[in-house]
Structure 1
Amino acid sequence: MKAIWKGFFSYSLVGLANTLIHWQIFFVLRVAAGLDQALSNFAAFCVAALFSSYVNALYTFEARVSATGYVLFLCVMGGLSYTVGYLGDRWHLHGLLTVTAFSLISLVVGFPLSRFLVFRGQRT
């Protein structure tokens, strides 16, 4: 069990920076550009995911990146981000609740996906 959660602290710190990026982009797209929550959340996720993948590869997992795993990660998490945004639109939720909900889901679901799909094996 210890091996599964190795790097969780570092992953969480990167996730905090990722969250700040995600939230800023979400609110700029939602408020300034007038996009709906689904598109704003998805676009913000995509930008933040690029940042966190790079930083996690360097500092958290110190492992090579699986291109197939990364694409699968983007599909799963991108789908979740769009779905949470869609539900926020449909239920007329405040944007803060939408990004908070997605951030929590991302932390719980994203770590195992990153650990076992994207960053596998040791660096050579």
Structure 2
Amino acid sequence: MLNLFSRYVSVGVVNTAIHWLVFGLLIHLVSMTQATANLIAFCVAVTFSFFANARWTFKTKVTYSGYIMFVLFMGFMAGLTGYLSDIMKVPPLITLVAFSAISLACGFIYSKLIVFRDAK
């Protein structure tokens, strides 16, 4: 289980780097709004995360239904974290760090028990 979680964390680190890189490029090179850039960066990063976790972490087949479940769950968590942070007037950096921790723990459990439950 520790090895599995270590792989999941490794994918998460790369996933976060992809998200931040795409976000930064879209903001600075294409002059997109933060909302649009963040949505696109999230979509790119969560797609990478799903495929990397399916193949490398859980060593299972990629399925369309699994992809949809994963993206919707992670998107819901991102939106909920942002919404609650807005209500509580939490600084953006704290929101980012909190979401990273929440998505790591909840994402792993959800992936293992729901999305990739048939993995060997």
What TM-score do you get using the length of structure 2 for normalisation? 0.74
Equivalent-residue separation in structure 2 for 1:102 and 1:15 (angstroms): 12
Equivalent AA in structure 1 for residue 16 of structure 2: T
Counterpart pick for 2:57 among 53, 56, 60 = 60
Report the count of equivalent residues. Answer: 117
Superposed CA RMSD in Å reads 2.7
Mark the CA change 1:73 to 1:18 in structure 2 (over 3 Å): closer, same or farther.
same
Aligned to 2:91: 93
Mark the CA change 1:25 to 1:81 in structure 2 (over 3 Å): closer, same or farther.
farther
Equivalent AA in structure 1 for residue 102 of structure 2: I
1:46 paired to 2:47: no
Aligned to 1:77: 74
What TM-score do you get using the length of structure 1 for normalisation? 0.73
State the shift of 1:99 in Å.
1.9
Deviations 1:63-92 (A, max 9, x none): 123432331221121011123234445526
**Identity rate, percent:** 40
Q: Which runs of 5+ in 1 are unaligned?
A: none
Mark the CA change 1:105 to 1:30 in structure 2 (over 3 Å): closer, same or farther.
farther
Q: Which runs of 5+ in 2 are unaligned?
A: none
